[in-house]
């Protein structure tokens, strides 16, 4: 899908993944407790979810809490969990209005029971929505996910339900928590950090990557449009030469 962005062409990715980083620094720069940064970050998430839907994205995946984030001070983890619960309860109407289906990836069993309960309820209520899939990566770590897939495949092979020859890339993808979704074609990370931090290591193999110094609570629809304009300028070559790609292989 294409849009005009102040004259510049804007191609919209099919699957956008975002590492929403910088809430803590945003708060610290203002002399505020880190959790207030997370509160503002949640408002940004709402705005970006709505804008993504408006622009016609099919899949939006947000990295909200990593498996490593469990190591943060207990007070911050607890506040994040209750913030997540409130957000899900508050935004159910938004998801229903915009026909967005909620999906979750990560070690969900590690989340507090109340959060698991709200997540399951929200997924059930939005299960028939077809206009966009919003995936929250919660308690998520890509290595964990890959190990889970390896173990599941090994189990299937051991009992003879799966032959080793059948284990190709497509089969492997089907054992990941993102099974059935196309790989992200675009990854945005805010806050100036230039790393992946254990996010979707398999699925990002050929994603275009965009790093911006903007801290997540400051990230606006205008910043999103700028990122898409940059995405539109990228030539996705998938290992081929530029000449071979003249006919545009971006879609």
Distances (CA, A) of 176 to 23, 28, 131, 186, 187: 29, 37, 23, 19, 18
19 touches ligand IPE (CB under 6 A)? yes
85 touches ligand IPE (CB under 6 A)? no
Would the annotation count 197 as a binding residue? yes
Report whether 64 contacts 136 (CB < 8 A).
yes
208 touches Mg ion (CB under 5 A)? no
43, 78, 131, 193: which one binds ligand IPE (CB under 6 A): 193
69 touches ligand IPE (CB under 6 A)? yes
Length of the chain: 251
185 touches Mg ion (CB under 5 A)? no
Residue closest to ligand IPE, measured at CB: 24
Partner whose footprint covers residue 64, from ligand IPE, Mg ion, none (CB < 5 to 8 Å by kind): ligand IPE
Q: Contacts with Mg ion in 18-77 (CB under 5 A)?
A: 21
Partner whose footprint covers residue 184, from Mg ion, ligand IPE, none (CB < 5 to 8 Å by kind): none
Q: Is 185 a catalytic residue?
A: no
State the binding string over 10-29 for Mg ion (x if CB under 5 A, else -). -----------x--------
Q: Which of 5, 69, 129, 198 is catalytic?
A: 69
Partner whose footprint covers residue 16, from ligand IPE, Mg ion, none (CB < 5 to 8 Å by kind): none
Considering only the stretches 5-13, 65-73, 152-160, 243-251, report the one whose residues sit in contact with ligand IPE under the rule CB under 6 A: 65-73
11, 13, 16, 24: which one binds ligand IPE (CB under 6 A): 24
CA–CA dist 5, 11 (Å, integer): 10
Would the annotation count 43 as a binding residue? no
Please state the closest distance from residue 63 (CB atom) to Mg ion, in A.
Answer: 10
Q: Is 69 a catalytic residue?
A: yes
Of 100, 181, 175, residue with least CA distance to 145? 175
Distances (CA, A) of 15 to 72, 148, 165, 170: 29, 23, 30, 18
List, by residue number, the catalytic residues.
Answer: 21, 69
Where do contacts with Mg ion occur on this chain (CB under 5 A)? 21
Binding residues for Mg(2+): 21, 208
């Amino acid at each position: 899908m294409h849009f005009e962005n102040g004259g510049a062409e804007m191609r919209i990715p099919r699957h956008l993944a975002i590492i929403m980083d910088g809430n803590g620094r945003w708060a610290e720069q203002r002399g505020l407790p880190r959790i207030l940064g997370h509160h503002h970050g949640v408002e940004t998430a709402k705005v970006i979810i709505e804008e993504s839907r408006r622009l016609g994205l099919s899949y939006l995946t947000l990295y909200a809490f990593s498996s490593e984030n469990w190591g943060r001070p207990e007070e911050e983890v607890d506040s994040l969990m209750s913030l997540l619960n409130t957000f899900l309860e508050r935004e159910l109407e938004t998801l229903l209005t915009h026909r967005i289906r909620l999906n979750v990836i990560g070690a969900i069993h590690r989340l507090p029971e109340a959060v698991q309960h709200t997540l399951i309820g929200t997924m059930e209520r939005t299960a028939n929505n077809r206009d966009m899939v919003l995936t929250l990566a919660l308690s998520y770590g890509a290595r964990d996910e890959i190990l889970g897939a390896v173990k599941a495949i090994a189990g299937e092979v051991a009992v003879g339900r799966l032959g080793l020859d059948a284990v190709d890339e497509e089969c492997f993808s089907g054992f990941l928590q993102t099974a059935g979704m196309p790989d992200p074609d675009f990854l945005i990370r805010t806050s100036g950090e230039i790393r992946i931090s254990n996010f979707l290591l398999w699925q990002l193999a050929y994603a275009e990557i965009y790093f911006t110094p903007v801290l997540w609570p400051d990230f606006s629809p205008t910043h999103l449009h700028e990122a898409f304009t940059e995405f539109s300028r990228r030539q996705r070559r998938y290992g081929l030469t530029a000449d071979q790609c003249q006919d545009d292989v971006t879609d």
